[in-house]
Amino acid sequence: MRYHSDAQPIEVRKWVKKQPESAWRRKTLRSTTKGGLIVEVLHRKVWLRDKHSPTPNCWHLIVRREVGSPGTIKYSLSNAPAATSVVKLACMQAQRFWIERAFQDAKSHIGMAQYQARQWQSWHRHMGLVMMAMLFMLQERLEHGNTHPLLSCYDIQVLLATTLPDRRASQEEVMRQIRVRHQQRQALIDAANRAHGASS
């Protein structure tokens, strides 16, 4: 038996345009090199009918726009438990950044895109080695997170290049360069934080 609803369906973009500004909730999701990632979120529970299910299911609808870039809007549906907080749903939606960041690091510093494989076995072996190298990078960043919180994959790549045979610079010089890069990154973070503090 299938249930029928008298409610009229509405396209999400049209529904968003009908929402007043007061309906958007401002949240800070995480820290970035440009200060906090501040977003505005709309959250509604919506009923969706799957063609294979006789009854509709209740899902979370999350609509997110970044402060300073209101024209960029992200839409997501989630089947998370009903009691899941809006902040957690918005954070889950924003996890795509870390996936893209991981791919960028893998391609730029670990050779993910540097292969000439003719068969799928070769490609799988290459990607397996890339994943092992990514795991090594992650473990190093976690292990040294307290003493070097800004340690990047590039930093580790440079350190390996200087400690393995065929060094291109002394270890002292590499550490000096890394400290300079970390100071520059921290200066950008501090400047962004000051700018956010002045505007709020």
Structure confidence by residue, pLDDT tens digits, 165-183: 766 677 788 888 889 999 9
Using the structure block, give the residue that is written with the tokens 């973070």. 189
Q: In this predicted structure, what is the pLDDT of residue 126?
A: 93
What is the spatial distance between Cα 40 and Cα 73, in angstroms, rounded to a whole number? Answer: 10
Output DSSP code: residue 3.
-
What is the spatial distance between Cα 119 and Cα 121, in angstroms, rounded to a whole number? Answer: 5
Q: In this predicted structure, what is the pLDDT of residue 38?
A: 85
Domain extents for the chain? 12-90, 100-195
For the chain, 200 residues long, the average pLDDT of each consecutive 10-residue run is 66 89 88 80 85 79 84 88 89 86 91 87 93 94 92 90 72 86 91 77
Output DSSP code: residue 66.
E
